[in-house]
């Protein structure tokens, strides 16, 4: 899907029709539909497509190869790179989405990070029908099904898939695929003592 998205973005005719606030910067072939809004401080590199009623920024960095569906909301100070974000998804402020696919109605809590690069620089592997498959890609983030919600500071390792209607709790690092309709939370112990003066 990411390859097909890039193929299409490079071949389409681009137009900027939406509301572009003063202080926003668009460079290269960028499409912004009529009812979309790009807030001040946003920096958008083409090729890129921003669909109807999107609300982007402020101070976002939307990098080449990104397609945003209808009514996508990207919060303050986010970075999105080479990704597909489908209709009605919300990327909370201070988040990073790289080389990823987010389904419809996904809601990422503030500070959510999709890691897209292995520490050793090797190709990303994904589970496909219970078999580990080499994707041949050195950069690949996460694939989230529709209606996935994440808590603040969630972290996804490269090549992870999360099934539809799942929740990922705050501060959780997701290292392997999660099935549809699942809930994953981090258990922690908090010790509170009286402060000595």
Return the DSSP state at 116. -
Residue-wise pLDDT tens digits, 137-147 = 999 999 999 99
Banded model confidence at residue 190, pLDDT cuts 50, 70, 90? confident
Hey, where are the domains in the chain? 2-184
Residue-wise pLDDT tens digits, 72-83 = 999 999 999 999
What is d(CA 115, CA 142) in angstroms, rounded to the nearest whole number? Answer: 8
What is d(CA 157, CA 159) in angstroms, rounded to the nearest whole number? Answer: 7
Strand partners, 131: 128
Q: DSSP string spanning 33-83?
A: -TT-EE-TT-EEESSEEE-TT-EE-SS-EE-TTEEE-TT-EE-TT-EEES-
Mean pLDDT of 69-94: 97
Residues in the chain: 197
What is d(CA 74, CA 129) in angstroms, rounded to the nearest whole number? Answer: 32
**CATH code for 2-184?**
2.160.10.10
pTM: 0.94
Q: What local confidence, expressed as pLDDT, does residue 122 receive?
A: 95
Return the DSSP state at 122. P
What is d(CA 177, CA 166) in angstroms, rounded to the nearest whole number? Answer: 11
Q: Is 19 helix (H, G, I), strand (E, B) or coil?
A: strand
Average pLDDT of the residues of the chain: 96
Contact 84, 46 (CB under 8 A): no
Catalytic entry in 14, 90, 93, 105: 93
Task: Classify residue 17 by burial, with Cβ atoms within 10 Å: 0-12, 13-18, 19+.
Answer: exposed
Q: What local confidence, expressed as pLDDT, does residue 135 receive?
A: 95
Q: Is 93 a catalytic residue?
A: yes
Q: What local confidence, expressed as pLDDT, does residue 139 receive?
A: 97
Residue-wise pLDDT tens digits, 113-125 = 999 999 999 999 9
The residue with greater pLDDT, 35 or 191, is 35
Q: Is 115 helix (H, G, I), strand (E, B) or coil?
A: coil
Residue-wise pLDDT tens digits, 127-140 = 998 899 999 999 99
């Amino acid at each position: 899907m990411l390859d097909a998205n890039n193929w299409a973005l490079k071949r389409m005719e681009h137009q900027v029709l939406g509301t572009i606030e003063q202080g926003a910067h668009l460079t290269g072939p960028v499409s912004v539909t009529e009812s979309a809004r790009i807030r001040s401080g946003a920096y958008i590199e083409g090729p890129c497509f921003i669909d109807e009623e999107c609300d982007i920024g402020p101070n976002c960095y939307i990098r080449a190869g990104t397609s945003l569906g209808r009514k996508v909301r990207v919060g303050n100070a986010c970075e999105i790179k080479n990704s597909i974000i489908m209709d009605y998804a919300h990327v909370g402020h201070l988040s990073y989405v790289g080389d990823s696919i987010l389904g419809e109605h996904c809601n990422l809590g503030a500070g959510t990070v999709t890691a897209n690069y292995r520490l050793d620089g090797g190709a990303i592997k994904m589970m496909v029908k219970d078999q580990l498959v080499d994707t041949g890609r050195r950069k690949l983030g996460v694939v989230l099904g529709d209606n996935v919600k994440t808590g603040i500071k969630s972290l996804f390792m490269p090549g992870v898939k999360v099934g539809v209607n799942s929740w990922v709790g705050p501060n959780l690092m997701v290292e392997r695929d999660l099935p549809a309709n699942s809930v994953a939370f981090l258990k922690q112990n908090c010790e509170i003592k009286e402060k000595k003066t």
